[in-house]
A and B are shown apart, each in its own frame.
Chain A
Amino acid sequence: MSSTAAQRPNGLALFILPSALLFALFFFLPIGLMATMSVLTGNPVVMPKVAFTTRHYARMIDDPFYLEVIWTTIRIGLVTTLVALAIGYPLAHWMARIKSRTGHALLLMAVLAPMLTGIVVRTFAWMTLLSDKGVVNQTLMSLGLIAQPLKLMYTETGIVVGLVHIYVPFMVLTLTGVIGRIDERLEQAAENLGASPLRAFIEVTLPLSLPGILAGSLLVFALAISAYVTPILLGGFQIMTLPILIYQQISANFNVGFAAAIGIVLLVISLLLVIAYNRALGLVSGQRELQ
């Protein structure tokens, strides 16, 4: 027993090597490059003379436009996360608790099926629904509920709708795993002690699923703030977010340094969230270790 345990790490280390290399190559190298570019005056590959500078960051902080873009991006991320949570939690709870196997399979299909279609296709589908002459407005107008078409496309609302549709499965799958591991008998014990089903949920299931809520929210938020296709198609460049800005800086302005700086800002937002997530989890860790 102890001899095999002693030999194991060596064997394991070999197995880890390829993925460690891959990780270094595709994770640290690009991020390192990006970080470097963000503090250089130009692209060292095409310009031999480059110097250290902080002007890309200064530009972002000094110009209210860029601060506004950062805030818009975060706002879209937050709203998307909250809506995805509101839709995803009941669905996940249903999936985790459903008794019938076919019912579970059908729900899983319903959640996963949209993921089998490309993001572009799904976003175009939303465009046909949300545009001024789209299905939603046409229906509401023909019913006489509205006189003027509602402005659904090229607004933050439209972007959020599209993003929620794309990222709800991530929320559901994360939550289903966590809720599924909560013993149903805990809720029953609460009911047995006099708690109504709603009270039992609030007192027992909800707090025990907090780690899942945090993890799912983190995932959806990180994906939403770095989304590119949906904000472009449904926002039509009317709404500016950080990823769109990066794209413009690279493809239109060829300002790689500034684009890299924006990328770093996006990364820092996500990292701050991960740190906050770990803190929050630490606070409820009593629950986590006991599950």
Chain B
Amino acid sequence: MSASIEIAGVSKIYDGGVRAVDAVAMDIRQGEFFSLLGPSGCGKTTTLRMIAGFETPSAGAIRVDGADITHVPAHKRDMGMVFQNYALFPHRTVAENVAFGLRMRGLDKATIAAKVKAALAMVELSGLEDRRPAQLSGGQQQRVALARAIVIAPRVLLCDEPLGALDKKLRQQMQFELKQLQKKLGLTLVFVTHDQEEALAMSDRIAVMNGGRVEQVGTPTEIYNQPTTRFVADFIGDTNIFRGERTTTGTGASALDVGKGLILALPPTDAQGTGVLSVALRPEKIRLSPRGDAAIAAGSSAHGIVENTNFLGGAVLYRIELASGHRVLVQQPNAGTSRLFVPGNGVTLDWTPADLVALKD
């Protein structure tokens, strides 16, 4: 039966004073696909290793289904783990690797054989029972590691960048399979990755980490559409970030003066307060049209010149220099060759003020 995990104010300071994890708090629900996402060195692996019991937190507590397991040794935690490098036992066959956890649980031979067979069938590795790990491809090794971890029906499955070593095609296939499996078995899965696309595609919820701290926890749409901090906005996808002083326009509406004459109308939700504010605007939320002579709406549109283009296939990413001198990224769907802009084209940009997201620094 899968379990919920509560991480309550956990910190980890390594010998030598590295504060790898800093007062992290999050609740991982039962049956949830939960990702830890963040740049290299932000403490993802350390957090996962503390959940698995390979590291002891310097402060805080970890609870599984409400029971404190902070000081329970790793071998009594009943958690499956897929290591970044798989950590398959090189001196044992595929079947022996998968059987290991069952053997440690003292099951009888016949039961072990049946479970191993079923687990290998589930990851589509039937027939490779007697191979050694070195005789398998990367994707096959990864599946053995997965089978070895789930055959013991763990309360929680922990995965540390399990797909990191795979090429893109196989990676996508494995992403899909892992997600299917997780849903089918109702597993609580904690998934570490530094690949934002992977996290967005697979997770029920994501915790974005930076410098040992959790910046934001939310569903993929929340993380992408409503980033709460500058770091999250910047880390997930492309984004335009404006920083300026709050002002009031002639009509009395609240706006942001980002300098050099560019004023952005603020959505009513962010209109309160004074002082400095950062806002984010996603490139695909900006509309682009050929520059016309008509006057433009102050606060939600601007003139600019296409500086360069980046053809993405289904979409085009433009870098545009505004009349105010600011540079912004704009992404447009690829609507046919005749409608694409080329560098040097004059364009008009417009957007909806409600798409501006206020950020904490």
Contact = CB atoms under 8 A, between A and B. Distances in A.
B132 interface: yes
B interface bracket (residues with beta carbon within 8 Å of A): 20 to 34
B104 A290 contact: no
Contact of B75 (A186, A197, A287): A197
A218 B134 CA distance: 28
Contacts of B87: 183, 185-186, 188-189
A47 to B, nearest CB: 58
A132 interface: no
A191 B75 contact: yes
B219 interface: no
A132 B30 CA distance: 72
A192 B91 contact: no
A194 B90 contact: no
Interface string A183-209: 101101111111111011001100110
B249 interface: no
A185 B90 CA distance: 12
B335 to A, nearest CB: 47
Interface stretch (B78-86, B225-233, B309-317): B78-86
A49 interface: no
Contacts of B78: 194
Contacts of B90: 186, 208, 287, 290-291
A286 B135 CA distance: 11
Nearest to B77: A192
A8 interface: no
A97 to B, nearest CB: 13
Interface in A204-226: 204, 207-208
B132 A196 contact: no
Interface of A: 99-100, 183, 185-186, 188-197, 199-200, 203-204, 207-208, 284, 286-287, 289-291
13 contacts: A185-B83, A188-B54, A189-B83, A189-B148, A190-B104, A192-B75, A192-B77, A193-B80, A193-B101, A203-B100, A290-B90, A290-B132, A291-B90
Interface of B: 15, 52-54, 73-81, 83, 85, 87-91, 100-101, 104-105, 132-134, 148-149, 152
